Amino acid sequence: MNDIRDVIIIGSGPAGLTAAIYTARANMAPLVIEGEPSSTSDQPGGQLMLTTDVENFPGFPEGIMGPELMSNFRSQASRFGAEFLTAKVTSVDFSERPFTIEVGETSYKANTVIVSTGAQSLMLGLPNEDRLIGHGLSTCATCDGFFFRDQEIAVVGGGDSAVEEATFLTRFASKVYLVHRRDELRASKIMCERAFDNPKIEILWNSQVVEIQGDGKLSGVILKDTLTEATRSLSVDGLFIAIGHRPNTDLFEGHLELKENGYLVTEPNSSLTKVPGVFACGDVQDDYYRQAITAAGSGCMAAIDAERWLEDHHS
């Protein structure tokens, strides 16, 4: 168990698995600690496992289902010799090399580590969310807006993400309700003005979604007025939750530098963290683009950075 690996990859979304493909093909025999199926935040495959059709990943002109895409990524990495461990990392020690990664009672050692633990969209915590995600319920307007052409939808949130998504979604939807729990948006002035001026956007102030409805597919929501507590139903074909994201960085607190918002710091235009030999890629260090394709691209960067670093330090 205490063999020293060339590289251990923590996380198995598009970033981690792209890093696995590249490092495997560079003969680095990567071990991918892929997460645990029981957990929504750390499940193998990452956020695309919660998505149905993916139509914007290049190379699939007819689109592909999120889980199938991730299964393809995984098979491709396996084909070149990547090894997988279906488990959650419990702690890391990056204070000396080789680095140590603990999974329960077992320690793994590696000369380089690629961190690709991703991020998760914050959810409302309502009972139907898990069942309806990908079936009318979405957390990504860029990914799923196209499916709501000429339909009525709602966006939850009052920050820049929600207002930006609501505005973007008016390209497709016939009507967008922006559901916000207060009487004032948190978003920047310019974003707010854009939304106020858009005739397709109606802001539902002081409103909270308290129930998401739909059998196979989302059909509407129950809203509660936060001042009067009165409830009413709103029938919509889609609901976008845009109340923020949370990077999966708890493990790295005290070991890697984090930004104020919890995302990992990497050097500009690279995957380098402040710890030489530890690299980060994908949504765990990207609070801006958050796309599968940009995550995959940054996974490739991390693999090349790790390979070159190893060449310079362990040849």
Q: Which residues bind ligand NAP (CB under 6 A)?
A: 124, 156-162, 164, 181-182, 186, 208, 243-244
CB of 92 to ligand NAP, least distance (A): 27
| Residues in Cβ contact with 132 at an 8 Å cutoff, skipping those fewer than 6 apart | 212, 214, 217, 218
- Quote the least distance from Cβ 253 to ligand NAP, whole Å: 20
**CB 251, min distance to ligand NAP, A:** 22
Single-letter amino acid, residue 44: P
Radius of gyration, CA atoms only, the chain: 21
Spatial distance between the Cα atoms of 156 and 165, rounded to a whole number of angstroms: 10
Is 144 among the catalytic positions? yes
d(CA 44, CA 49): 8
The whole-angstrom separation of Cα 280 and Cα 271 is 5
Indicate the residue whose CB is closest to ligand NAP.
Answer: 159
How far is the C-alpha of 268 from the C-alpha of 149, rounded, in Å? 37
Nearer to ligand NAP (CB atom), residue 72 or residue 291 = 291
Whether the Cβ atoms of residue 176 and residue 201 lie closer than 8 Å to each other: yes
Residue 6 or 283 with smaller CB distance to ligand NAP: 283
Token reading at 243: 């109340």
Find the catalytic residue in 144, 237, 283, 305: 144
CB of 191 to ligand NAP, least distance (A): 7
Comparing CB distances to ligand NAP, the nearer of 135 and 186 is: 186
User: In this complex, which beta carbon is closest to ligand NAP, that of residue 243 or of residue 310?
Assistant: 243
Is-catalytic flag, 192?
A: no
Please report where in the chains the tokens 């005290």 appear, as a residue: 254
- Please, how many CA atoms are within 13 Å of residue 107, restricted to the half-sphere of its CB? 10
The catalytic position among 3, 42, 93, 143 is 143
Positions marked catalytic: 140, 143-144
